[in-house]
Structures are given as structure tokens and as C-alpha cells.
Amino acid sequence: MSIDLSKMATFGVAGNFTGHLEQAGEAVDFTNVKTAEAKAPKAVFPTFMPKAGKSIPEFLNVFPFDSQKIIFPEGETKLQIEPECAIICEVTYEGTQVKSLKPVLFGASNDCSIRKEGAKKISIKKNWGKSSKGLSDNLIAIDSFDESGILNRYRIASFMVRDSKVIAYGEDSAVRDYSYVYQKLVLWLIDKLNNQQNEGPAEKIGDYINEAGKPELIMVSIGATRYTDFGEHNFLANGDKSVVVVYPEDKYSSEDIKKGVENNSLNDKDVSVLSQLVVL
């Protein structure tokens, strides 16, 4: 199916891999956020809205996705890759409420983030203008969004390429190892899209979706993996390359993927690759 990301509402999930928020220095932001269980994600945050609305912050109407580059945010210093699997979902509505989500495509995503203290909302650290996020051009069809489906074979790997050296940035992680995935994630997303309130770092995204015209498709980056020690302590700089790869573990090893990044040879339609050059 052909898609136009600029016509979708796009979101991210905060805290869907145990330990990531602590590594990113953001766990404190969610101290007062109540969740159904300890391992539950913390919130859904918006990254782009295709139409303006009275409650939608203006910056969310700037399309931030670029599959080739990241434009470094002016005046900032701490910019990190957020390696994720993203899903595109067909949405059905009942009045103003999201009734159902059907995941139809997936791919590699960089939910790139500014690390800054005092930002009132997550979205402020996510969309700083054009070319601030990324989604792979190679999206793969989802047969069934459950343990028997294609995604149960896939893993997420990520790398920073600096001075021609390829360095693992996030821990190589299975999609099935997200805290919430498959039907549990879908039900949680529907609840948050309908009921999340404007509290702490979270926003009332149900209002945004309605004001944006209830888009038929939404994209959700379902959570960043934990960082390697290098990824936790090293931030992106001009000239670096960010690479996120979502790949089938029954076809490739993690070593195969790293070599493919080094040789720029990951051209398999079964592998979703996002490679972005950091520019000022």
C-alpha cells in the first residue's frame, strides 16, 4: 500500500523498554504518572499533526520526518538517536473516540530526541522543525499483529557511524521484548488516544486527533530500546550518521547487520533500514 506520512498523525510511546527512561535521564519526569502496572509504558506523545487545531501547538504542524538527514537543533548540545520499531495503523472512529487500530505496516524509526531539563512536554524535545525525526522508506507489511505474525521474528539494532567507525548505539533487541506489544499494546494505545489527559509531560491527544480531522492512518513509534554504554554517554554531532535497522533474526545475525552497515549493503526488502546524516 502507498502511504503519505504527511497526512497522518504521528506519535511515540514513552517508557516501553525497561530502563530506557532512566538512561535518558527522563524517569524523573514521570514520577507522578500512574500506570496500571509497573512495566506499563508511561504515555503517548505527539510528534506531528497534519492539520492545525485550536488546542494543537503550532510546532506540531511542522512535518519533521526525513529519511536522509537530521538537522541539528540550534542552541542544543545533547541529541540522541532513539532506535525504534514504528507501526502504521488503520484507525476507525466512533464519534470522537478511536474505536479500533489495525497495524498494517512496520519499519525502522528514529524518534530522535533532545535531552533537556525543564521541558514541560515530551513533544517539545521531539519536533524541533524539519528533519528532526526519521522513518525508513522501506516499510514491511504486517500479516497479523501477534505472536504468530511476522514481527515476532524481528529485532531492532542501531549504530552511530563516526569517522567511518560503526559503533553499536542501542542494545540489539527483539520486537517481542517490548513491555507492551501486540494486542496489549493496541488496547493500551486506544485507551491513551481516547483518555490521556493534559498532565505532567503528557498531552490530551484525543483532542488533537479530532481537531486534525480524525486521520484514517496514524504512525506510532512504539518505544526506544535501551542504550549501549556508548549510546548512553555519546551524543550526535555534525557529520555523524544515525542508522536504525529492523531485521529478521532467522535470516541475519547481529554481526551480519553490523557488517551490512559497514559495507552499506543492507538492500534486502525484508530489512527496514533508516540511515540519516547529521547536518547543521
pLDDT tens-digit profile of 176-186?
999 999 999 99
Q: Output phi, psi for 178, to 5 deg.
A: -55, 150
pLDDT band at 31 (very low <50, low <70, confident <90, very high): low
**pLDDT for the residue numbered 34:** 67
pLDDT at 20 over 60: no
Mean pLDDT of 151-174: 97
pLDDT at 157 over 70: yes
More confident: 222 or 200: 222
Query: And the C-alpha cell for 252?
Result: 541475519
Please provide the average confidence, as pLDDT, over all residues in the chain.
93
**pLDDT for the residue numbered 37:** 80
Mean pLDDT of 35-58: 91
pLDDT band at 39 (very low <50, low <70, confident <90, very high): confident
pLDDT band at 118 (very low <50, low <70, confident <90, very high): confident
**pLDDT for the residue numbered 24:** 53
Tell me the DSSP string of the chain. ----GGGSEEEEEES-STTHHHHTT-GGGGTT---SSTTS--EEEEEE-SS--TTS-GGGGS--B-SSEEEPPTT---EE--EEEEEEEEEEEETTEEEEEEEEEEEEEE--EE--TT-SSGGGGT--STTSBEE-S--EE-S-SSTTSGGGGEEEEEEEEETTEEEEEEEEEEGGGSSS-HHHHHHHHHHHHHH--S-TT---HHHHHHHTT--SEEEEEEEEPPBPHHHHH----TT-EEEEEEEETTT--HHHHHHHHHHT----TTSEEEEEEEE-
- The CATH number that domain 11-279 falls under is 3.90.850.10
44 and 185 Cβ atoms separated by less than 8 Å: no
**pLDDT for the residue numbered 15:** 87
pLDDT band at 38 (very low <50, low <70, confident <90, very high): confident
**pLDDT for the residue numbered 235:** 97
Task: Report pLDDT digits (tens) over 134-148.
Answer: 999 999 999 999 999
Mean pLDDT of 45-74: 97
More confident: 1 or 79: 79
Q: Where are the domains of the chain?
A: 11-279
pLDDT at 131 over 90: yes
Q: What percent of the chain has pLDDT over 90?
A: 87
pLDDT at 25 over 70: no
Of 24-33, 119-128, 249-258, minimum mean pLDDT range: 24-33
